[in-house]
Amino acid sequence: MNEQQGVGAKGQEDRRIRMVERTMRMYGNEPHALIETLHTIQESYGYIDTDLMRFVSEKLGVPLSKVYGVATFYHFFTLKPQGEHTCVVCTGTACYITGAKNIIDEIGKQYDIKPGETTSDNKLSLLTARCLGACGLAPAVVFDGVVAGKQNPESVNETIRRWFEK
């Protein structure tokens, strides 16, 4: 994972990876922890990317191709989406009650996409996560891997608009 930390959200990246590590530990870092671990990744990152699959494969001693096979077999899991930029809106309890839905609605209105979709020009993918472990900063949104806290429809719009300007 090659992203820097978002301003005001120091250590959030660690928090997510720690949740993943915790799940693996709970199952003794054994191969049978695979599905649970992928669930944790899906819920805390909003999708499963290659680096994390590699990490899990190594930690649990599960072959790479097996990890990929399982991650693509279940409809519950999403691999890194097609879009050039990804926006993951946390819809965990804390974020939900502080306005995650308004944020999703706003993006939907501006770019005509629902969570799980990518704009037709492949510029933006919208996803949701269950909890980033950043509840203190709710509502939290991850822009291209960088966690940003205390978001609202306007601030999210502003960040995404800058992507489209380039």
- Kindly list the residues in this chain that would bind other proteins in the complex (CB under 8 A): 50, 53-54, 63-69, 72-73
- Contact (Cβ atoms closer than 8 angstroms) between residue 90 and residue 115: no
- Partner from other proteins, ligand FES, none binding residue 66, C-beta < 5-8 Å depending on class: other proteins
Among residues 100 and 113, whose Cβ is nearest to ligand FES?
100
Which two tokens mark 7?
């301003």
Binding partner of residue 95 among other proteins, ligand FES, none, CB cut-off 5 to 8 Å per kind: ligand FES
- CB < 8 Å & 24+ apart, contacts of 103-108: 103/139, 103/141, 103/151, 103/152, 103/153, 103/156, 104/128, 105/153, 106/153, 106/156, 106/157, 107/156, 107/157, 107/160
Q: Tell me whether residue 48 or residue 141 sits nearer to ligand FES (CB atom).
A: 141
Summarize as ranges the residues that interact with ligand FES (CB under 6 A). Answer: 90, 92-95, 131-135, 138, 140
> From other proteins, ligand FES, none, which one binds at residue 9 (CB under 5 to 8 Å depending on kind)?
none
Whole-number Å distance between alpha carbons of 100 and 26: 30
Burial of residue 67 (CB within 10 Å: 0-12, 13-18, 19+) is buried
Q: How far is the CB of 77 from other proteins (least distance, A)?
A: 11
Closest residue to ligand FES: CB criterion: 92
Which SS3 state, helix, strand or coil, does residue 28 take? coil
Judged by beta carbon, residue 10 or residue 54, the one nearer ligand FES is 10
Q: Look at residue 92 and give the partner it binds from other proteins, ligand FES, none, a contact being a CB closer than 5 to 8 Å depending on partner kind.
A: ligand FES
